[in-house]
Structure 1
Amino acid sequence: MPEMAGGGLLGTPDGAVLDQVRVLELTRTIGGAYTAKLFADAGAEVVKVEPPGGDRLRSWSASGSPAGGDSGDGAFFQFLNAGKRSVVIDLDDPGGRDQFMALAATADLVVEDLGAGTVEAMGLSHAELNESNPSLALLSISPWGRGGPWDQRPANEFTLQSWVGSTHSRGIPNEMPLGVGGKLGEFLVAANAAALGLAALMAARRDYARGEHVDVSAYEAMTTSFVVYAHLYAAYASDARTGATRSIEIPSVEPAKDGWVGFCTITGQQFKDFCVVIDDPEMAEAPRLASGDGRMDHRDEVWNRIARFTQAHTVDEIVDKATMLRVPVAPIGDGSRVAQIDHFAERGVYVENPGGFTQPRVPYQLSAR
């Protein structure tokens, strides 16, 4: 029997909605592991297949120090794999392939991210899996998708952000462009992949239909998620700037008396209300500062006017005033206090992991359960 990979289900709604679903996970990336986690969070039985020596994420931590607890696994591994079962299989060995095929014969879905053509080379193609389990769906995640001259081309989160055009637009004009941190692309790809995998296994259950092979391209998923405004301007406003220079939002992350505070004024009305927040209504009436491009062109002036107010007030004072005027705002912190914020505490957003750290629960609640 496979053993538990990362502890029991944490913060999962009572009454699992996918408790009749079995998923076989053959992944090596964060995106693949999180795809399978979404199924486990919803109550599916997920069996994680690890190579001899275990998943490399077991020993990884951002700080380089162990997370604690009895498992000896890093916090991120425990978060990604809570509720899954784990089995070690050497897929380079013929006996290991037979062991995997036996597990696949009773599964509803296989999730893999080993790269285009890899499972086929192992003798684990969708056609071969379907020989003993015709309704089994296969969900394959890869950087570029299958087919085409780039399907074997190496890529990762950072390079894919550049390929979709996101990196070029972020940062200060004439300075180094910036990528988005936090592995956001991998989590976005997982959200797309999990939805498609669920659709595939539901379709296969209708009238005992044949399982689909779902091909998910990380690049294609990120193209829709990391869209930059310059493309929209070019399509709908031919006389507007088209992204020849990069920019950041102004206001954005601004200095307070005791820390940092973040704003995001998407609409013209929000910027006018922001100017009221910082006691500078005259700035709202200046035509040259009315647009994001205008504020970027005069950024030193705008930053100085913002700082005159923000550096004289605490983060809490600024957040309270901006919230009262319905300006999107947030304190910029390291996350150490977020679990104690009243809204999150009342909703039970954060739960304690047996490994000795706090983690978010599943991001939904079920009204009928």
Structure 2
Amino acid sequence: MSRRESLPLLLSEELTQKSTTLPLSGLRVLDLSQVMAGPFCCMLLGDMGADVIKVEPPHNGDQTRNSMGFRMKGTDSPGFLALNRNKRSIELNLKSEAGREIFYELVRTADVVVENSRPGVSKRLMVDYDTLEKINPRIVYASISGFGQNGPWSKRPGFDLIAQAMSGMMSAMGIPGQEPIKSGVSVGDLGAGLFSLYGILSAIIGREKTGEGQFVDASLFEAALSLSIWETTEFWALGKSPAPMGSANRMSAPYQAFQASDGLFVLGAANQKLWQALCKTIDREDILLDERFVDNKERLGNRQALVDILNSVFVNDTVENWVSRLLDAGVPAGPIYDFEQSLSSEHVAERRMVQEMAHPVEGHFKTLGFPVKLSKTPQELRQHPPLLGEHTHQILDELGLGNKLKEFESQGAFG
């Protein structure tokens, strides 16, 4: 008996009862995706109660299981664990007729399919929208790719780095006069996952009116471009591409990082009232009379001179003292924390943004909490990130195919 066969069924009566109170309970999602954008989207659906079945290729599964270069106790990477809670896993060889037969049976029971292969791959595997819509006209099918399903760039690989670069986003990030910098947070990937979620739920609501599902086309490129709100506005208004500004803001000044005696902190005097409060708090009300800084337009045009003056004041005291004084005066300000400081803060603890999850191999591990709180149906960590194929037998039983397990195995359904 394999390790996954010896594990207890995780969609137990107790877990099922927990999920039925959540908003998306009763919704079945087939997660064909890998790495980040699709798995993130499907995890959020699972967090809200959907029954997410992760359909993975045999032997290795989602390639993120073996990524990152470090692990904890088991064979799955922390990156996989972070993106795949509240899901079940079935191993299926979609290159085989038997594997597709099982998948098509799943499609008959499903509401949503999410995939993030390069355009054309799902059609070759015969799991594309046109094929599945004939099996289940109510299916909502989301494809997440690098550049969308059409257009001259559509066949290019879907990588966050490339999306940030080609959307224009990278050109506007970094230090002035130096090479562009990629956002360390995967904005394209995670943004595409969030926009896909928005599209899926909209299509689900629309299905209540029409009775039909539809195709949702999302991309990393368009996610990165759509999040570049200020930058595209500046380009259209001024006719030139925005340049990098470090930590500064394109629309307000002062609104960036400043140097205190023991480190950096940020403040945002985003309107005239806050600007006046800032000058009063740092005992430099004389600056209010300086023509270079009389309003936001002038401050933006003389930003560096303003930064030099403010830094000459802030360097005389600590981050903690400046932040405290500014907040007391109503001026938004905060220290620049690393992740250790942020994750160990009292605020993160009270907001339950760090939680512990039980796992049959890892024991207990930490995971991020839920970024949106629901008052009447709070989300829960119902199911650990699944082992590869952990629920294959269970799902076949649910489909009424358990008695054909050996037959499917002999036909290569599971690799």
**Mapped pair 1:142 → 2:145:** yes
In the alignment, the residues of structure 2 paired with residue 217 and residue 149 of structure 1 have an alpha-carbon distance, to the nearest angstrom, of: 14
The 5 Å alignment of 1:20-31 reads 20-31=26-37
**Amino acid in structure 2 at the alignment position of 1:132:** I
Tell me the distance in 1 between the aligned counterparts of 2:300 and 2:203: 47
Letter in 1 for 2:24: L
One-letter amino acid of the counterpart of residue 274, structure 2: Q
The aligned residue for residue 375 of structure 2 is 367
Contact 2:118–2:157 at 8 Å: present in 1 too? no
SS at match of 1:105: helix
Tell me the equivalent position of 1:246.
244
| Kept in 2: contact 1:165–1:228 (CA 8 A) | no
Question: Over residues 52-79 of structure 1, what are the superposed CA-to-partner deviations in whole Å (9 max), with x where a residue is unaligned?
Answer: 2122212334xx43234xx442222112
Distance in 2 between residues matched to 1:34 and 1:244, nearest whole Å: 30
Instruction: Give, in angstroms, the shift of residue 193 of structure 1.
Output: 0.6
Counterpart check, 1:353 vs 2:357: yes
Between 285-294 and 247-256, the greater mean CA deviation after superposition:
285-294
Amino acid of the structure 1 residue aligned with 2:35: T
| Length-normalised TM-score, structure 2 | 0.75
Deviation at 1:200, TM superposition (A): 1.8
SS at match of 2:204: helix
Residues in 2 aligned to 1:171 and 1:339: alpha-carbon distance in whole angstroms:
25
Find the residue that maps to 1:179 and give its secondary structure.
coil
Counterpart position of 1:187: 190
The one of 309, 323, 335 aligned to 2:339: 335
Aligned residue for 1:79?
82
Q: Is the 8 A contact 2:43 2:83 kept in 1?
A: yes
Secondary structure of the structure 2 residue equivalent to 1:252: strand
Between 245-254 and 90-99, the greater mean CA deviation after superposition = 245-254
CA distance in 1, matches of 2:328, 2:236: 36
Whichever residue aligns with residue 36 of structure 2, its letter is I
Quick one: distance in 1 between partners of 2:71 and 2:197? 30
**Distance in 2, Cα, partners of 1:244 & 1:329:** 25
2: distance between equivalents of 1:168 and 1:331? 27
- Against the structure 1 CA distance between its residues 15 and 166, is the aligned structure 2 distance closer, same or farther, given a 3 Å change threshold? same
Kindly report which structure 2 residues correspond to 1:197-276, keeping only aligned pairs within 5 A, or say none: 197-206=200-209, 209-229=211-231, 231-233=232-234, 235-236=236-237, 242-243=240-241, 245-248=243-246, 249=248, 251-276=255-280
Cα deviations across residues 297-325 of structure 1 (Å, max 9, x unaligned)?
562x5444333343333322222122222
Cα separation, 2, equivalents of 1:110 and 1:326: 48
* Identical-residue share of aligned pairs (%): 26
Matched to 2:244, the amino acid is: R
CA deviation profile, 1:315-356 (whole Å, cap 9, x unmatched): 222221222223222221222233443333333232123355
Is the CA contact 1:22–1:109 (under 8 Å) kept in the aligned structure 2? yes
Q: State the 1:87 CA deviation.
A: 1.5
Q: 2:317 aligns with which of 313, 319, 327?
A: 313
| Greater Rg by CA | 2
Comparing 243-252 and 100-109, the one that deviates more = 243-252
Distance 1:351 1:121 in 2: 41
- Per-residue deviation at 1:190? 1.3
Structure 2 counterpart SS, 1:228: helix
Paired residues in the alignment total 356
CA-CA distance at 1:292 after TM superposition: 7.3
Bigger CA drift: 13-22 or 78-87? 13-22
Query: For the residues of structure 2 that align with 1:362 and 1:263, how far apart are their CA atoms?
Result: 27
Distance 2:301 2:173 in 1: 12
Per the alignment, do residues 359 and 275 of structure 1 end up closer, same or farther by CA in structure 2, a change over 3 Å counting? farther
Supply the distance in 1 between the matched residues of 2:268 and 2:85 (Cα, whole angstroms).
Answer: 34
Q: CA deviation at 1:128?
A: 1.5
Residue 164 of structure 1 is aligned with which of 162, 167, 174?
167
Are residues 340 and 21 of structure 1, via their aligned partners in 2, closer, same or farther at CA, if it must alter by over 3 Å?
A: same
For 2:180 and 2:326, locate their aligned partners in 1 and report how far apart those are by CA, in whole Å. 30
CA gap 1:285/1:176 in 2 versus in 1, 3 angstroms: farther
State which of 199, 223, 226 in structure 2 corresponds to 1:196. 199
CA contact (8 A) 1:7 1:78 kept: no
Q: Contact 2:169–2:224 at 8 Å: present in 1 too?
A: no
Provide runs of 4+ in structure 1 moved above 6 Å: 1-4, 6-9
1:16 aligns with 2:22: yes
Give the letter aligned to residue 104 of structure 2: M
CA distance in 1: counterparts of 2:100 and 2:45, whole angstroms: 24
Query: In structure 2, what is the equivalent of residue 59 of structure 1?
Result: 66
- Contact (CA 8 Å) 2:271, 2:296: kept in 1 or not? no
Cα distance change, pair 160–269 in 1 and its aligned pair in 2 (3 A): farther
The residue type paired with residue 227 of structure 1 is I
Are residues 85 and 234 of structure 1, via their aligned partners in 2, closer, same or farther at CA, if it must alter by over 3 Å?
Answer: closer
Contact 1:350 1:359 in 2 (8 A): yes
